Amino acid sequence: MKSLVILLFSGLITGCRGNSSHSLPPKLLLVSFDGFRADYLQNYEFPHLQNFIKEGVLVEHVKNVFITKTFPNHYSIVTGLYEESHGIVANSMYDVVTKKHFSDLDDKDPFWWNEAVPIWVTNQLQENRSSAAAMWPGTDVPIHNTTPSYFMNYSSSVSFEERLNNITTWLINSNPPVTFATLYWEEPDASGHKYGPEDKENMYRVLKEIDDLIGELVHKLKVLGLWENLNVIITSDHGMTQCSKDRLINLDRCIDNSSYALIDLTPVAAVLPKINTTEVYNKLKVCSPHMNVYLKEDIPARFHYQHNNRIQPIILVADEGWTIVLNKSLPKLGDHGYDNSLSSMHPFLAAHGPAFHKGYKHNTINSVDIYPMMCHILGLKPRPNNGTFGHTKCLLVDQWCINLPEAVGIVIGALLVLTTLTGLIIIMQNRLSVPRPFSRLQLQEDDDDPLIE
Ligand SMILES: [Zn+2]
C-alpha cells in the first residue's frame, strides 16, 4: 500500500513537472560500449558506472536478438525490430536477387538499411528537432535519404574524446536543437575477441579503461550543464564467450567447399548451396554434435530469424564456445553471435536522467523494448515494432508500474487486512450475543436468594 501511495505522488509530481517544462523538448543520448557482457558488472569493479547507476536505473540483463552480432543488434536497438524485420541479418550478407554484398567494411548502400526506419530519422521528421551521431552502425548512411543532421563517418581510429567532444558540442549549440544523439565505442568487444572474457588480467585493464571513459562522459556532461536535463542510456549490443582451439568445427572435413558459398562463417554460418540444397544439408547435418544445422524453413520460431530473403537456405548454429572454421582457420579467443537465450550473450542497460527513477534495479527487458521506451521519452509516435513498452514502465518516473514482488506484497497486505476485519466482526458478533444467557443466570441467582436467607 505504501508503494502505491508513493507511486501516486510521484505520478502527480511528474505530471506537474511535465507541464512546467513544456517548452523544453526532452533530450536523449544513447551510448553503446560494444560487447559489454552483462556479468562484467558483477565480476569487475566499475566505480564510475556504479555511481551512474546509483543515481539512475539498471537492467541487469538485456535479452538481445538472434544472431547476437554487432550490426544486427545495434539496428534492433534503434528500430525495435527483430533482424528478419529490419533486414540487417548479419555482419556479412548477400542478396540473391540484386547480387549485392554487405560487410562491416562495405555497409554504405542504403539498400541494406531501408527495410526499417531508425529512431534518428523519425526524430528528425518532428518539427524543430535534429539528431546527431558520434558513430553507430547506420548513422553514416542516408537511410530513406536521411542521415542524422550531424554525424561522423565511421572510423575506429577516432578517439573517444573526439567523439564525446563532437556529440556534446552538437547537443549544446545546434538549431534546431539535437534531441536524440548516439555515441559508440568499440571496446570491450575488440579486447574480448582478442583475449577472451576469461583472461581476467587483460579484461580487468580494458574494463577499467571503459569505466574511466564513463567517468569522463559524466564529468563532461556536468561541466557543460547537460547532466540534469539530459537522459542518458548506456547499453551494448551483445556479450562475449570464451572460445578455444580445442572446440573447433571444421566444415572442410564434412563437405567439399565447392558445393556451397559461405556468406557468413561463425558462430552462425550462412550457407548458400550451389547445386543441391538437400545434399549439402545432409552432409552438414552429421558434421558435428556441437552444431545445430537448420534448413531456413525449420529455424526455430523463437529466433525470429526466418522471413527475410537475406537469410540463406541453410544456417549452422555452433554451441556456446565452439567455433566453425575452414581448414587452416585460426580461432579468436572470444566470440559472440550464439543463441540469444545464452546469458553470456546478453548485455546490460543503465540509464540516468529526468525520465528515469533513481536507484532502481530491474531484472530483464528485451533489446527490442528499448525503442518504444526511447520514443516515449522523446514524445515520438513509435513505428510498428517488436518491442513492448510495458516491459520498461518500471524504469520511468511518469509510468504506473507494479512489479511482481510489489504485487505479491499488496495481495498479502490485502489478505491480512481482510482476515483482521473478519476476525473483528466475529468477535463483535460474539459480544453482542452474550447478554441474554447472562441475564437469565442473574434471574436464577435472584430466585435462590430466599433459600440463602
Ligand atoms: Zn558488437
Three-class secondary structure assignment of 283-332: HHHCCCCCEEEEEHHHCCHHHCCCCCCCCCCEEEEECCCCEEECCCCCCC
Asked if 87 contacts 115 with a C-beta cutoff of 8 angstroms, the reply is yes
Tell me, yes or no, if 70 is annotated catalytic.
yes
- Ligand 1 centre distance from Cα of residue 360 (Å): 27
pTM above 0.75, yes or no: yes
**Stretch (H or E) spanning 211:** helix 200-223
pLDDT digits (tens, 9 = 90+) for 272-289: 999 899 999 999 999 999
Half-sphere exposure of 70 (CA within 13 A, CB side): 23
Catalytic residue among 14, 68, 70, 419: 70
Q: What percent of the chain has pLDDT over 90?
A: 80
- Ligand 1 centre distance from Cα of residue 307 (Å): 23
Q: What mean pLDDT is predicted for residues 165-193?
A: 97
Q: What mean pLDDT is predicted for residues 435-453?
A: 46
Q: What is the pLDDT of residue 434?
A: 53
Q: Is the pLDDT of residue 444 over 70?
A: no
Q: What is the pLDDT of residue 433?
A: 65
- Ligand 1 centre distance from Cα of residue 169 (Å): 26
C-alpha–C-alpha distance, residues 138 and 148, integer Å: 10
Query: Cell 551512474 sits at which residue?
Result: 52
- Ligand 1 centre distance from Cα of residue 256 (Å): 31
Q: Is the pLDDT of residue 105 over 50?
A: yes
Q: What mean pLDDT is predicted for residues 7-36?
A: 65
- Ligand 1 centre distance from Cα of residue 369 (Å): 19
The dihedral built from the CA positions of residue 323, 89, 390 and 60, taken in this order, carries a sign that is: positive
Phi, psi torsion values for 68, nearest 5 degrees: -85, 60
Q: Exposed, middle or buried by CB within 10 Å (0-12, 13-18, 19+), for 186?
A: middle
DSSP 335-389: E--S-TTSGGG-B-EEEESTTB-SSEEEEEEEGGGHHHHHHHHHTPPPPS-S--G
- Ligand 1 centre distance from Cα of residue 74 (Å): 8
- Ligand 1 centre distance from Cα of residue 325 (Å): 20
Q: What is the pLDDT of residue 4?
A: 41
pLDDT digits (tens, 9 = 90+) for 36-80: 999 999 999 999 999 999 999 999 999 999 999 999 999 999 999
- Of 156, 153, 178, 154, the closest CA to residue 167 belongs to 178
Asked if 363 contacts 60 with a C-beta cutoff of 8 angstroms, the reply is yes
Amino acid type, 442: Q
- Ligand 1 centre distance from Cα of residue 336 (Å): 8
- Ligand 1 centre distance from Cα of residue 340 (Å): 14
- Of 392, 401, 125, 117, the closest CA to residue 235 belongs to 392
Q: Is the pLDDT of residue 9 over 70?
A: no
